[in-house]
Amino acid sequence: MILDVMEIQKIIPHRYPFLLLDRVTEVVKNESLVGYKNVTIGDHVFQGHFPGHPIYPGVMILEGMAQAGGILAFQSMDDMTEEQAANKVVYFMSIDKAKFRHPVRPGDRLEYRISVIKRKGSIWMLNGEAYVDNVLVSEAELKAMIVDK
């Protein structure tokens, strides 16, 4: 299953400049998701992080993981209609074991690989990894809950 940015915006509420996922290339319901963000010098964060030495902030990488995880959760809920999903939102409860292994720079394609650790009702525990050119740049465990808006 491939989702472009227009389809992504139907699933999660994020919009520019805070939509941090350009495309989803693979979804296995209740198991995993692969998607990416193209990091460009035009991204607003580079105005201040850091002038003359642009590095994509780690918190933005984690937010991209969280958005990808939210899409995986919504795409996995077969019993939810599109109308019901429109009245729900994913809240992240915790981010644990976050590590940043390599800097991400303009021109990089940041690939998110999200997998389900455990699901209990509306609560999801996810493993998130971010890669550039198949090199692990960041990882974290994410815990989220789907709630009514």
Does 94 score more than 90 pLDDT? Answer: yes
Domain count, the chain: 1
CATH number, domain of 137, equals 3.10.129.10
Contact 90, 144 (CB under 8 A): yes
Does 147 score more than 80 pLDDT? Answer: yes
Give the domain extent around 97. Answer: 5-148
Exactly one of 14, 49, 53, 102 is catalytic; name it. 49
Please give the average per-residue pLDDT across 48-54, as a whole number: 95
Does 14 score more than 90 pLDDT? Answer: yes
Per-residue pLDDT tens for 53-69?
Answer: 999 999 999 999 999 99
pTM score, two decimals?
0.95
31-68 in b/e form (b: 16+ CB < 10 A) is: eebbbbbebeeebeebeeeeeeebebbbebbbbbbbbb
- Could you confirm whether 49 is annotated as catalytic? yes
Number of CB atoms found within 10 A of residue 5's CB:
12
